[in-house]
Structure 1
Amino acid sequence: MRVAIAGAGAVGRSIALELVESEHQVMLIERELTQIDPGAVEDAEWVHADACELSSLEEAGIEGCDVVIAATGDDKVNLVVSLLAKTEFGVRRVVARVNDPRNEWLFSENWGVDVAVSTPRLLAALVEEAVAVGDLVRLLTLRQGQANLMEVTLPDPTPLSGRPVRSLALPPDSALVVILRGGRVIVPQPDDAIEAGDELLFVATAAVEEEIRSALDV
């Protein structure tokens, strides 16, 4: 997979290192010459250019990328990069960093964003996930806000203990995707029994969250 990252600061470089380790082709685009450091991510392609300029993206070959990540520290820049990548170059997947949670509402399909990642919101969700038992916690928003990744850790005791997965009356537009039990990752099958302490991960639209809570009795 070929990935372009706009912004070669600490965040952009960290993402690039992870992707390179996973054997993806990575291109880092950075307008500040002082941030250009090929030695920091040796296997990445480095481009000194302004990712907000159409001509710069064209010269960089952005249309050949499968994913564009707008990872600068400026929300305005990230929105412009996302819009250009999606509308001008037809990039299939655009991921954008949200620096100020107050701007999160802007990071939608109207600006070409497929997935918006808000670090403050994500950290808050992870804190909730770590300490909350018996409550449904939203971890991540997917696909322009159309679906969310949610988690619940079942209390002990729970009325669901011993019941098969197929007995969960989950609403439409929702799915139980994995059960975490101790050190195990379980892909749920209809006859698998639910146990107290299980960590359940769901993908669902925001509209059915209350119905999921009712189905889980949490």
Structure 2
Amino acid sequence: MKIIIIGGGQVGAYLSSLLCSNGHDLRIIEHRKAVYDSLLKQLPAELVLFGNGSDPAILEKAGITSADVVAAVTDADEINLVVSTLAKMEFGVPRVVALVNNPNNSWLYNSGMGVDVGVNQAEVMAHIVVEEMSLNDMFTILKLSRGNYSIIQMQVHQNAKAVARCLKELPLSRDMLLIAIMRGEALIIPKGDTPILAGDEILALADEAGRCTLEEILSEPRNV
């Protein structure tokens, strides 16, 4: 995959090293001389370009016309948005990811500005905190890019309502799917007559309503 990163600060440098080590075709653009020099010590020289990432000529030099992804991760939201708009509207890059530095600007990171994914670190942290506090042993494995669905994993508590009941007896909506049950060393593809046992690890596809349902029937009952 060909990836162009704009911004060689801590986020850009780490992201570049990670992607480079995974064999991706990478270019990173940085306009601050000291930061540029630091990048040259971390990455092969041919991967690092000195210049302004919002300059179309620099983007073309980096190979944006054939890029699969552009990631704008500078510490300035205005630059990230300008780069995103250029990448999507001018060069037709399939996927544009941009870092949100100021949470108050997150509303600007939309498809109209060329942003496919706006990474709001404050929002991500808030979701992690709330999920940890409210969903006990439920973990989000993957958040799908379309709709409000996630693939989640949750362990069945010994006193849960679902224990010793068959799958077909549970109040599961048509908009959620139990993908697998991990029981000890075994992986079970659940069917209607599959019983749920304490300690089972449930892998499911669900929206927010489905997550609440799973928490209700798989976790420790709340005291009323």
Same fold (TM over 0.5): yes
Deviations 1:133-163 (A, max 9, x none): 45878788654x7445464645622223355
> 1:125·1:139 contact (CA, 8 Å) conserved in 2?
no
Alignment of 1:107-118 (within 5 A): 107-118=109-120
Q: Which has the higher helix share?
A: 2
Percentage of pairs with the same residue: 32
In structure 2, what is the equivalent of residue 55 of structure 1? 57
* Distance (Å, rounded) in 1 between the aligned partners of 2:95 and 2:134: 32
* Distance (Å, rounded) in 2 between the aligned partners of 1:77 and 1:85: 12
> 1:54·1:84 contact (CA, 8 Å) conserved in 2?
yes
Aligned residue among 121, 124, 127 for 2:126: 124
Three-state SS of the structure 2 residue aligned to 1:217 is helix
Alignment RMSD, CA only? Answer: 3.6
* Distance (Å, rounded) in 2 between the aligned partners of 1:189 and 1:24: 35
In structure 2, what is the equivalent of residue 26 of structure 1? 26
TM-score (norm 2): 0.74
* Distance (Å, rounded) in 1 between the aligned partners of 2:201 and 2:109: 30
Q: Which runs of 5+ in 2 are unaligned?
A: 218-224
In structure 2, what is the equivalent of residue 13 of structure 1? 13
Q: How many positions carry a matched residue from both structures?
A: 211
Higher alpha-carbon Rg: 2
Alignment of 1:28-177 (within 5 A): 28-36=28-36, 37-42=39-44, 45-134=47-136, 143=145, 146-147=147-148, 149=150, 151=152, 153-154=154-155, 156=157, 157-162=159-164, 169-172=172-175
Q: Which runs of 5+ in 1 are unaligned?
A: none
**2:50 partner amino acid:** H
1:194 Cα deviation after fit = 4.9
In structure 1, what is the equivalent of residue 2 of structure 2? 2
TM-score (norm 1): 0.75
Three-state SS of the structure 1 residue aligned to 2:125 is helix
Q: Does 1:210 align with 2:209?
A: yes
